[in-house]
Amino acid sequence: MISDIEIKKLGEEIIKIICTIFDPEIPVNIYELGLIYDVEVSEEGNVRITMTLTSPNCPVAESLPLEVEEKVKSIDLINDVKVNIVFEPPWTKDMMSEEAKLELGML
């Protein structure tokens, strides 16, 4: 069993790892782009990530979720990772962080 404090630290570490993954068409990481909707960590060390893509026809629709899964699995204490791709709500530019918008010259 993982303590609540360890779960919180794992959540922060997961976000750091996710921030190293970039959309190949947009020079911003997928977290700042707003593609990550939810990260859940259980007491058993299982992780469930709900994410979307910039579009259903995204050229990395197959590889991006696998990259997220593999990188998150590399963290100590993580047993299993499931990445769930959803398209509701659909991704819009409004979901990007201020930092991402600034990086892309949208502010």
pLDDT in tens, 44-93: 999 999 999 988 888 888 899 999 999 999 999 999 999 999 999 999 99
Assign 3-class secondary structure to the chain.
CCCHHHHHHHHHHHHHHHCCCECCCCCCECCCCCCEEEEEECCCCEEEEEECCCCCCCCCCCHHHHHHHHHHHCCCCCCEEEEEECCCCCCCHHHCCHHHHHHCCCC
**Is the per-residue pLDDT at 24 higher than 90?**
no
Percentage of the residues of the chain whose pLDDT score is greater than 70: 100
The pLDDT value given to residue 27 = 86
The pLDDT value given to residue 107 = 81
Q: Where are the domains positioned within the chain?
A: 4-91
| Overall average pLDDT of the 25-39 stretch | 94
The pLDDT value given to residue 26 = 85
**Candidates 3.30.300.130, 3.40.50.10260, 3.40.50.800, 3.90.226.10; correct CATH number of 4-91?**
3.30.300.130
- Cβ neighbours for 15, distance < 8 A, ≥ 6 positions apart: 31, 36, 39
